[in-house]
Amino acid sequence: MWFCVSHRSVFGHRPISLSGCLRGVEHACYNQRHATIRTINFDARWYAELPETPCLLEVGPLFKAIRDDLFARDVLIPHDKPELRLCRVLCDQMTVAPRQRNYLPGTDDRLLAPVLHALEQCPADNHTLAQWATDVYSTERTLSRRCQALLGMSFSEWRQRLRHLQALALLRQGMSVQSVALEVGYSSSSAFIAMFRQQSGSTPEGYRTRP
């Protein structure tokens, strides 16, 4: 998996996904392993048919087949009508492709933003949502509703994803599983391993030794 940061949100990419970023949108990409990344740029005249905001698209076999064919033939710019038709199909496939939510969405909401920023600075902070609500002069119920409405997930899920990203970085640095667990806010390695497996489908040790 690799990650693209855009509009204060983090998109987690797997091989079956495609990231969409618009012209003029500042973004940066980070990968966990050596990776080859190819980009496809569309003419501005087609923008109206593409997603209006950065997102992940679940592309299908037709898109992949056309993409692989164009890349294999090193087609950088379509020069004839057959190649233009293939690119038109790529655009059509992106238009109808299911859109995936951000892995770690962000927000500028006046109540949630300071809470998320504080957690980004210290993922190990175990303040409850009720305690955070007190800090921002709100209520737990209000923050909970805003998490669902603005982030598309619960507060606990967002914090778990943040800790997962932090854990990936620490494991790459060679820290032990127990040390990483403590660093990201877990009092026991077993609870940390359960979270890591839920988020990534593998154990921390399995991730570290993956070629």
pLDDT of residue 194: 94
pLDDT at 12: 54
pLDDT given for residue 38 in this prediction: 74
**Residue 177 DSSP label:** H
Helix, strand or coil for residue 130?
Answer: helix
> pTM (2 decimals)?
0.61
What whole-number distance in Å separates Cα of residue 29 and Cα of residue 24?
16
Cβ 22 vs Cβ 54: under 8 Å: yes
- Please state, in angstroms and as integers, the Cα–Cα distance from residue 68 to each residue in 11, 14, 35, 61, 64, following that order: 23, 17, 16, 10, 6
Question: Reduced to 3 states, what is the DSSP secondary structure of residue 9?
Answer: strand
User: What is the rounded distance in angstroms from the CA atom of residue 142 to the CA atom of residue 130?
Assistant: 10
What pLDDT tens digit does each residue of the chain (211 aa) get?
444 545 455 555 444 445 555 556 666 665 545 556 777 777 767 656 666 666 677 778 898 899 889 989 999 889 899 999 998 898 888 888 777 666 788 888 999 999 999 999 999 999 999 999 999 999 999 999 999 999 889 999 999 999 998 898 888 888 999 999 999 999 999 999 999 998 888 899 988 776 5
